Amino acid sequence: MDQEGKVLAKSRVSTDRPAIQNYLKSLDGLKPTKAVIEAGFNWSYFYDQLAEEIEEVCLAHPLKTRLIAEARIKTDSLDSETLAHLLRSDLIARAYAPSWETREVKNLLRFRISLVRIRTSLKNKVHSVLDRHQVEDNVFRGLTDKFGKTGMKIMRSLELRGNDRAILNGYLDLIEELSRRIAALNKQIKALVKEDEISSYLKTVPGFGDLLGLLLRYEIDNMERFASAKKLCSYVGIVPSTYSSGGKTWHGRITKEGNKWRRWVVIEAVHGAIITSPSLRRYYNSVKQRRGDKAATIALARKLLEIIYHVWKEKRPYYEKELAYTV
């Protein structure tokens, strides 16, 4: 589409890499300088393919762009022509497109989390096998971790009837292999933290360590995008939804905008912050007494994001001090 809105070419193209490259080459003099795609599943594949051939690629926020399109251009769906009209009119609501390097680190961290979740699932299955044979906890008396070296030896030496001996060994083999892979990933993560200045600051915040600090750093990627800590909280999706009608305003549940990983990191950090920080624990308990556990968790998550915002912006470690707060 040209600047006046005239469609110059419209085609259906296969999604494989050579087909995309050949299509762009076939345009010759019509080769575009800008392109736009919606931020849907696997957007990064198409984004990277276009970025190699085109001067600028815009990543459109699906919900916000749809609102603009329905207001400006009467259509029931955001097809390619509608997106092209919005692009030439500079009306695309853009989503943030992190660099390939950032996405690589995020994928590595998410991989590590997925392995831990699989290992936890396998541990639960081991407990089920032990329960079927009434294996009491006193068998593991004195052990802090049933799945440590001593605990694993004890479980492998248990006499179980039928197929459960082989089943238990199979689960334990998988757990040991996953633990080796997770340990190797932990070394990679520590090395990344040492090389990254921001991550070294974030891990000083209560509840955050190497993994959570690094994951949040790359899930946010660029703090300069946010003018305030409130904007950051909104981006993470832990601010209450708002409904207004007839001059009255109601606040509902949190918006949960954006991807789930950002919220998971902050909520996960809340549990550690309650244990390690007396000041944040008092804040959490004060909210909990008045509004309940869930509200207290979200309130402390927002407080942690406010701390993260200032630590990141000012590039300094976090130091514990008394928080001034009202409930």
Question: 190 pLDDT exceeds 60?
Answer: yes
Q: Which band of pLDDT confidence, cut at 50, 70 and 90, is reported for residue 322?
A: low
Q: What is the mean pLDDT of the chain?
A: 88
Both tokens of residue 305? 């994001």
Distance CA 297, CA 165 (A): 42
pLDDT of residue 287: 94
259-305: pLDDT as tens digits? 889 999 999 999 999 999 999 999 999 999 999 999 999 999 999 99
pLDDT: which is higher, 149 or 77: 149
pLDDT: which is higher, 168 or 20: 168
Q: Name which of 223, 226, 323 is nearest 281 in CA terms.
A: 323
pLDDT of residue 169: 96
191-244: pLDDT as tens digits? 999 999 999 999 999 999 999 999 999 999 999 999 999 999 988 988 876 655
Q: Which band of pLDDT confidence, cut at 50, 70 and 90, is reported for residue 76?
A: very low
pLDDT of residue 75: 47
Domain locations in the chain? 17-88, 100-195, 201-314
C-beta separation of 176 from 152 below 8 A: yes
| Mean pLDDT on 73-94 | 78
